[in-house]
């Protein structure tokens, strides 16, 4: 009987603590969401560096437009830009979702020197493109330090954020975007490159993660943006 009572106590304690933890996680997600909700729209200028083994591209200026709830456009200031499909369009509007997902507490981790809470967001439906989203949240400042998003069509994307002047709005100064870069090969008839690439170069091009780094220099927040920009 005594052992049964102990079992009941332990069970109740475990149930209550899981419930409290789940509530904490949902509250935390909501708080972060509310912070990001201060931003109705923004325009940001910055520099974009593409670090993909098989793409040689110069560092170029970019302009980013965002409008609630989910309009996002990244535009290079002149020139040609190459971006992984789907991934870079992850923005503050869709990085954190509060409906149709279940939030699970996954413990703690350090990003840089900041202690973060790991929260996994699982979609309730089967038809969502996002399979799993993991957020690393700085609880003290209510900032998303890192997010890992696994999608059905476009693989897994990792975003790391560094904050500065615009941290009060939850907007990063620097975004590191990494993804698995697939090898690609074109038929030589198209490229007319009959000279084969040497083995050392081929090895260098293989098995490396792609990375896009955007450093924002200026934000214009809640100044209003026309919908025509996103067309």
Partner 1 sequence: MWVHLRIELYKIFRKPRTYLAFAAITALIAVIQIGLFVDGKEYTEFVMADFANSFAVDGKILNGYFICYVILQLLLIHVPLLIALIAADMISGEANMGTLRLLLTKPQSRTAIVTAKFLASVIYTLLLLIWIAILGLFVSTMIFGTDDLFIMKSSYVVIVKESDVFWRYAGAFCFAALAMVTVASLGFFLSFFAENSIGPIVATMSVIIVCTILSTMNIPIFNIIKPYLFTTHMITWKEFFDFKVNDANEAIVGSIQYPERIIHSSIVLLVHIIGFAGGAILLFRKKDILS
- The edge-to-edge listing of strands for the beta sheet with 101-111 is 71-76, 60-67, 41-51, 209-221, 174-180, 156-162, 143-151, 130-138, 114-123, 101-111
Name the segment binding partner 1 (CB under 8 A); options: 93-101, 102-110, 133-141, 197-205: 197-205
**Least distance between partner 1 and beta carbon 52 (Å):** 8
The SS3 of residue 153 is coil
Cα–Cα distance for residue pair 4/7, rounded to 1 Å:
5
**Least distance between partner 1 and beta carbon 158 (Å):** 16
Which DSSP state fits 196?
A: P
- Based on the shown chain and the rule CB under 8 A, indicate whether residue 188 belongs to the binding site for partner 1: yes
**Least distance between partner 1 and beta carbon 121 (Å):** 25
- Based on the shown chain and the rule CB under 8 A, indicate whether residue 85 belongs to the binding site for partner 1: yes
Residue 136, Ramachandran bin (φ over 0: left; ψ between -120 and 50: alpha; else beta): beta
Chain centroid to CA 207 = 22
- Based on the shown chain and the rule CB under 8 A, indicate whether residue 194 belongs to the binding site for partner 1: yes
Q: Which of 8, 9, 12, 82 binds partner 1 (CB under 8 A)?
A: 82
- Based on the shown chain and the rule CB under 8 A, indicate whether residue 76 belongs to the binding site for partner 1: yes
- Based on the shown chain and the rule CB under 8 A, indicate whether residue 58 belongs to the binding site for partner 1: yes
List all residues 6 or more positions away from 29 whose beta carbon is below 8 Å from its beta carbon. 96, 98, 103, 119, 121, 135, 137
Task: Select from 174, 136, 151 the least CA-distant residue to 86.
Answer: 151
Name the segment binding partner 1 (CB under 8 A); options: 9-17, 103-111, 162-170, 189-197: 189-197
92-151 binders of partner 1 (CB under 8 A): none
- Based on the shown chain and the rule CB under 8 A, indicate whether residue 195 belongs to the binding site for partner 1: yes
Do 44 and 220 form a contact (C-beta atoms < 8 A)?
Answer: yes
**# residues contacting partner 1 (CB under 8 A):** 40
- Based on the shown chain and the rule CB under 8 A, indicate whether residue 186 belongs to the binding site for partner 1: yes
Binding site for partner 1 (CB under 8 A): 49-60, 74-76, 78-85, 181-182, 184-186, 188, 190-197, 201-202, 205
């Amino acid at each position: 009987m005594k052992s049964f009572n102990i079992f009941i106590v332990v069970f109740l304690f475990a149930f209550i603590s899981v419930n409290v933890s789940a509530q904490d996680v949902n509250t935390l997600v909501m708080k972060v969401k509310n912070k990001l909700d201060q931003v109705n729209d923004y325009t940001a200028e910055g520099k974009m560096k593409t670090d993909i083994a098989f793409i040689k591209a110069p560092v170029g200026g970019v302009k980013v437009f965002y409008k609630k709830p989910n309009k996002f456009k990244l535009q290079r200031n002149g020139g040609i830009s190459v971006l992984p499909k789907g991934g870079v369009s992850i923005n503050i509007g869709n990085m954190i979702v509060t409906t149709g997902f279940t939030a699970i507490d996954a413990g703690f981790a350090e990003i840089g020197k900041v202690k973060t809470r790991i929260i996994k967001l699982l979609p309730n439906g089967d038809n969502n493109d996002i399979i799993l989203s993991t957020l690393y949240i700085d609880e003290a400042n209510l900032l998303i330090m890192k997010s890992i998003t696994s999608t059905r069509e476009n693989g897994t994307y990792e975003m790391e954020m560094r904050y500065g002047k615009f941290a009060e709005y939850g907007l990063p100064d620097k975004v590191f975007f990494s993804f698995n870069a697939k090898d690609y090969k074109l038929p030589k008839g198209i490229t007319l490159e009959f000279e084969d690439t040497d083995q050392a170069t081929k090895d260098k091009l293989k098995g490396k993660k792609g990375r896009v780094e955007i450093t924002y220099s200026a934000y214009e927040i809640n100044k209003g943006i026309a919908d025509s920009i996103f067309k």
